[in-house]
């Protein structure tokens, strides 16, 4: 498969993911409004609802960031700049684009941007949700404990 064909396939992947994120975000927002309308229960219920709202809000924020990066990638496709590194101007390898379809830097330039400290939204690696000093902590929703005693 040629690079051009692979990029056309990638466009469909991005559009599908974009549409799914839009639906998920619309659902998250309507669900949060529903939950706010149902304010009954005791203090424990209120605390659990508050924690759930915070988790939902953070997940919606992550999804919104991904949606913005997908929209930017689709715009770059329309302008003919998709798959071109914003740092050095070289082609981003298809293996990287397959792994991260909205990548705007080749691996070398991405590492350099991270080393220097990303300053613009396009420079941020949103695939890392947590900031940790070591940068190697993986956390899932199942790792969060709530003490309701």
Residue 4: per-residue pLDDT = 86
- Fold category of 3-138 in CATH: 1.20.120
Nearest to 27 by CA among 54, 59, 49: 59
Please check the confidence at residue 34 and state whether its pLDDT lies above 50.
yes
Does the reported pTM lie above 0.75?
Answer: no
Q: Report the pLDDT averaged over residues 22-31.
A: 71
Q: Compute the residue count for the chain.
A: 149
Cα–Cα distances in angstroms (integers) from residue 108 to residues 11, 27, 77, 131, 139, in the given order: 24, 38, 22, 21, 27
Give residue limits of the domains in the chain.
3-138
Nearest to 61 by CA among 5, 134, 124: 124
């Amino acid at each position: 498969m040629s690079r051009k064909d692979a990029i056309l396939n990638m466009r469909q992947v991005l559009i599908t993911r974009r549409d799914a994120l839009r639906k998920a975000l619309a659902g998250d927002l309507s669900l949060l409004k529903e939950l706010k309308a149902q304010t009954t229960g005791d203090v424990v219920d209120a605390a659990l609802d508050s924690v759930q709202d915070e988790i939902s809000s953070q997940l919606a924020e992550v999804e919104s960031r991904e949606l913005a990066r997908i929209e930017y990638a689709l715009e770059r496709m329309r302008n003919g700049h998709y798959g071109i590194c914003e740092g050095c101007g070289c082609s981003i390898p298809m293996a990287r684009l397959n792994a991260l379809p909205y990548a705007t830097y080749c691996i070398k330039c991405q590492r350099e941007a991270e080393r220097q400290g990303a300053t613009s939204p396009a420079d941020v690696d949103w695939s890392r949700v947590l900031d940790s000093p070591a940068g190697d902590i993986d956390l899932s929703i199942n790792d969060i404990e709530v003490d309701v005693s």
